[in-house]
Amino acid sequence: MKKYTDQGKKDTRSGYGAGMTVLGRTNPKVVALCADLVGSLKIQEFINENPERFFQVGIAEANMMGIAAGLTIGGYIPFTGTFANFSTGRVYDQIRQSIAYSHKNVKICASHAGITLGEDGATHQILEDIGLMKMLPGMTVINPCDFNQTKAATIAIAEHEGPVYLRFGRPAVPNFTPADQNFEIGKALLLNEGTDVTIVATGHLVWQSLIAAENLENQGISAEVINIHTIKPLDEEAIINSVKKTGAIVTAEEHNYFGGLGESVARTLTTRYPVPQEFIATQDTFGESGTPAQLMEKYGLNDKAIERAVFKVTKRKSVY
């Protein structure tokens, strides 16, 4: 099994800020908008270097989406920034009508996603955003796994023509992907080859899946681990090729199991190559206040939960 090294824990939102700094220096069409959360989005360096390309809209997220849509008409590439709950649920009508329907080149960048937002509680821990965004026609949905990948994704989406939803988080998590990586939208990454089960993960659950795979290897189970950083468009070929070898799959995400990565994978398998599947996700519930680690444990979003799902799904292979 390939070993991955934690290069030092960093928050993925800082990866977004680092990517914006690069874009500020290399792409004069990129502009940033923020809904009174500059510190949380880590874009102060971009602002310092490009004050004329920054728009502080205040706590007016719906207006921010409309302004961003308008800026694209002038040839700009607007990056909007606020918490994931406010980037999607609060402004869904504006995104649908002014951005998605019109296929505007807006990059909707959402911090503090998922249950690892932690102590702010259920009102801020959106667990439905991937589902909301992936159902919009023409919307690309990206959920990177660490600081380096978030930075690379931020830079890459500036070159993509069309609306993008980029999701990232608040807590410091292991940073283990290459600093110089080439981020290819829609292309899954095979992190570990295996023969007994496929683990398909996104976001914070990628590192947890690698831990689980290492533990499973010590128990005689060979797990293939795939990083699905782009949920839409989904790399269906990578998934199908893997399950043809392993015959079973576990999907892992920090999102409600309704509407998330797991459902997209299930649709792919149902129509092309059915195999047993287990879902690591929140089970149709809101979150609550607590530390990220406490919440990931309680809601079954960690390496131990992935291991249990693997044991369950591999037993189903013989009767499927």
What is the structure's pLDDT at 317? 84
Question: What is the location of CATH 3.40.50.970 in the chain?
Answer: 10-173
Give the tokens for residue 193: 């080859």
CA-to-CA distance for 177 and 170, rounded, in angstroms?
18
pLDDT digits (tens, 9 = 90+) for 132-167: 999 999 999 999 999 999 999 999 999 999 999 999
Residue in 45, 49, 52, 61 annotated catalytic: 61
What is the structure's pLDDT at 320? 55
Q: Where are the beta strands (DSSP E) in the chain?
A: 10-11, 30-34, 54-56, 77-83, 107-111, 140-142, 164-167, 172-173, 189-192, 197-201, 223-227, 230-232, 249-256, 277-282
By the 8 A CB rule, do 243 and 269 touch? Answer: yes
pLDDT digits (tens, 9 = 90+) for 161-199: 999 999 999 999 999 999 999 999 999 999 999 999 999
Selected from 1.10.3720.10, 3.40.718.10, 3.20.20.70, 3.40.50.920, the CATH number assigned to the domain covering 189-319 reads 3.40.50.920
Give the tokens for residue 50: 């490009």
Q: Please, which residues bridge with residue 164 across strands?
A: 107, 140
Average pLDDT over residues 121-137: 96
Cβ neighbours of 1 (radius 10 Å): 16
pLDDT digits (tens, 9 = 90+) for 59-118: 999 999 999 999 999 999 999 999 999 999 999 999 999 999 999 999 999 999 999 999
* Neighbouring residues of 311: CB distance < 8 A, sequence distance ≥ 6: none
pLDDT digits (tens, 9 = 90+) for 208-250: 999 999 999 999 999 999 999 999 999 999 999 999 999 999 9
For residue 318, is pLDDT > 90? no
Selected from 3.30.565.10, 3.40.50.970, 1.10.4080.10, 2.40.40.20, the CATH number assigned to the domain covering 10-173 reads 3.40.50.970
* Residue 45 burial by Cβ neighbours in a 10 Å radius (0-12, 13-18, 19+): middle
Q: Is 307 part of the annotated catalytic residue set?
A: no
What is the structure's pLDDT at 2? 79
pLDDT digits (tens, 9 = 90+) for 30-61: 999 999 999 999 999 999 999 999 999 999 99
Question: What is the location of CATH 3.40.50.920 in the chain?
Answer: 189-319
For residue 319, is pLDDT > 80? no
Amino acid in position 150: T
Of 115, 166, 74, nearest to 301 by C-alpha is: 115
Nearest 10 degrees: Cα torsion 188, 189, 191, 195:
40
Q: What is the pTM of this model?
A: 0.96
